[in-house]
Amino acid sequence: MKISIHSHISLFALIASMSLWTASSPLLSQDFEVSLEISSSLGSVGGGLTNLEFGMSEGASDGFVPGEDEYANPTSGAGSSEFHAWIDLDGDNWTRCILSSQESDTFAVISLGFYQTNPIFLQWNSVDIPETGNFRLEDAFGGSFLSIDLREQNSILIDNIALTTLILRVTPPFAEDFIRGDFNQDQTVNLADTVATLEHLFGFFQSTDNLTCPKAGDINDDGDLNISDPIFALAHLFNGAPAPGAPFPTCGKDTTPDGLLCQQNCP
């Protein structure tokens, strides 16, 4: 390492003279699909099983697309006296509903039609729920009576026939794709990233708390974001030191998993 105290001082003078950098990077969602198996099994009358699927896919339409979406049987749904379950979207009843990818929180209204007082059993496979994002099943009253993280359990029995509406609340998952060293998320690794990392670590000028991929700042890939990263970056950029490890220079995933977060896709 040949960076002298003099060059540190020059660096800070350079940083001070640069215009303030601002972070603006959208959270982008990743495709996902959640499957719920819903049954009412007490007695043969009014029993049955319905599979509901809700998801997002890039390029999907929010309207009905044959093959992508499925409507529920027209005899099911509101007004039916038998057990039924369906996704209620824009007044239509669906058993499979794939929306276009969205960045923001979204929800699916799940309607339950009880047969008399037969309880309704919902189950899903928690290991199929994406690792990032947030997936909760709630009552329609903001989760005051029922609020379940779909990653933490596999089923629930609904024996309160007043709970005819559930909300599947989804914060879309992230692909966690990034370019190592591209801390300010402009798809290029240069001095501005070093400046942004120093700002993040030491708060020179402004907060960088709104960054969605701190992991990108771990340019030496030791699983920690600290002063050794800007030093590594400067040595690479100006002193001929080796380039960062993957993913670099193209976008991709961290090949050495660690505790640093990255909540974004590449553009």
Identify residues 107-166 at the interface with Ca ion (CB under 5 A): none
Considering the complex, state which of residue 55 and residue 247 has its C-beta at the smaller distance from Ca ion.
247
- At residue 179, the 3 state secondary structure works out as coil
Residue 128 neighbours by CB under 8 Å, 6+ apart: 34, 35
Compute the least distance from the CB of residue 173 to Ca ion, in Å.
Answer: 19
Considering the complex, state which of residue 139 and residue 221 has its C-beta at the smaller distance from Ca ion.
221
Cα–Cα distance between 136 and 120 in angstroms, integer? 18
Cα–Cα distance between 129 and 99 in angstroms, integer? 17
Query: Of residues 73, 78, 222, 243, which one binds Ca ion by CB under 5 A?
Result: 222
Cα–Cα distance between 148 and 249 in angstroms, integer? 40
Contact range with Ca ion by CB under 5 A, out of 136-144, 168-176, 184-192, 235-243: 184-192
Q: Which amino acid is at 214?
A: P
CB 122 within 8 A of CB 36: yes
Query: Of residues 138, 139, 193, 199, which one binds Ca ion by CB under 5 A?
Result: 193
Q: What is the 3-state secondary structure (H, E, C) of 191-213?
A: HHHHHHHHHHHHCCCCCCCCCCC
Can residue 176 be called a binding residue for Ca ion (CB under 5 A)? no
Can residue 182 be called a binding residue for Ca ion (CB under 5 A)? yes
Cα–Cα distance between 9 and 200 in angstroms, integer? 19
DSSP 244: P
Considering the complex, state which of residue 159 and residue 258 has its C-beta at the smaller distance from Ca ion.
258
Can residue 258 be called a binding residue for Ca ion (CB under 5 A)? yes
- Nearest-CB residue to Ca ion? 256
- At residue 17, the 3 state secondary structure works out as helix
Considering the complex, state which of residue 15 and residue 161 has its C-beta at the smaller distance from Ca ion.
15
Compute the least distance from the CB of residue 225 to Ca ion, in Å.
Answer: 6
Contact range with Ca ion by CB under 5 A, out of 104-112, 126-134, 218-226, 239-247: 218-226
Token pair of 243 as six digits: 């380039």
CB 131 within 8 A of CB 157: no
Considering the complex, state which of residue 176 and residue 218 has its C-beta at the smaller distance from Ca ion.
218
Can residue 256 be called a binding residue for Ca ion (CB under 5 A)? yes
Contact range with Ca ion by CB under 5 A, out of 58-66, 102-110, 156-164, 223-231: 223-231
Can residue 199 be called a binding residue for Ca ion (CB under 5 A)? no
Query: Of residues 55, 229, 233, 251, which one binds Ca ion by CB under 5 A?
Result: 229
Cα–Cα distance between 225 and 205 in angstroms, integer? 18
Cα–Cα distance between 214 and 176 in angstroms, integer? 11
User: Footprint of Ca ion on this chain (CB under 5 A)?
Assistant: 182, 184, 186, 188, 193, 218, 220-222, 224, 229, 254, 256, 258
